[in-house]
Chain A
Amino acid sequence: ETGVTQTPRHLVMGMTNKKSLKCEQHLGHNAMYWYKQSAKKPLELMFVYSLEERVENNSVPSRFSPECPNSSHLFLHLHTLQPEDSALYLCASSQDIGAHNEQFFGPGTRLTVL
């Protein structure tokens, strides 16, 4: 596998469920990101990790819980979500958290909350 992979590609969950999104990067990068992309809205940065340490948490509700066990893997744990959380969740990686780095995105997980 090359690049950034995400699983599952599609997820439907009820408001009381607990699920996890998984991201893996095969690029040897040190930084990983979670973004949310809703219809008609720009990508919103949720979390930033650098060498497995969380660097940024952009006012994300606690029902979203990230985990970075190593620099290649990133998870987003979901619990008691709301219908308005339905969106495309994108994972990305970059060489590091410095300036100018291009970000490499995965294909995303399309999440539907019923």
Chain B
Amino acid sequence: SQKIEQNSEALNIQEGKTATLTCNYTNYSPAYLQWYRQDPGRGPVFLLLIRENEKEKRKERLKVTFDTTLKQSLFHITASQPADSATYLCALGAYSGAGSYQLTFGKGTKLSVIP
């Protein structure tokens, strides 16, 4: 069966360090992958998109890699700040077979950046 795993439920990191979050998937052939940030009591907010033919994407302090051979995406936040504390969701996009592209989400990793 299809499975998306985000490495850990919670990750604590010291301010200023690089946070690395992992998203692994099995029995899936995504056309693209997205990362979202979710704060308590709020809906997810889109951060980055990476397509299946792309290896790496960057946006300010964020970097995403996508390895379709390993079936893995890594999400990096460099020079982390307490304001980066949130839950980060990995979402795989694929054609549903019924007319639309759909996102399938992982459970998320709760990141805490300690001052």
Contacts and interface: CB of A to CB of B under 8 A. Distances in A.
Contacts of B114: none
Interface stretch (A12-20, A42-50, A76-84): A42-50
Given A56-B96, A100-B49, A42 B4 contact: yes
Interface residues of B, number: 27
Given A42-B107, A42-B108, A56-B96, A98 B101 contact: yes
Give chain A's interface residue range (CB within 8 Å of chain B).
20 to 34
A101 B46 CA distance: 10
Contacts of A68: none
A56 B94 CA distance: 14
Interface of B: 4, 31-32, 34, 41-46, 49, 51, 89, 93, 95-96, 98-108
Interface of A: 4, 31, 40-43, 45, 48, 50, 55-56, 90, 92, 97-108
14 contacts: A41-B107, A42-B105, A43-B89, A45-B103, A45-B104, A48-B102, A92-B43, A97-B99, A99-B32, A102-B34, A102-B49, A103-B46, A107-B41, A107-B42
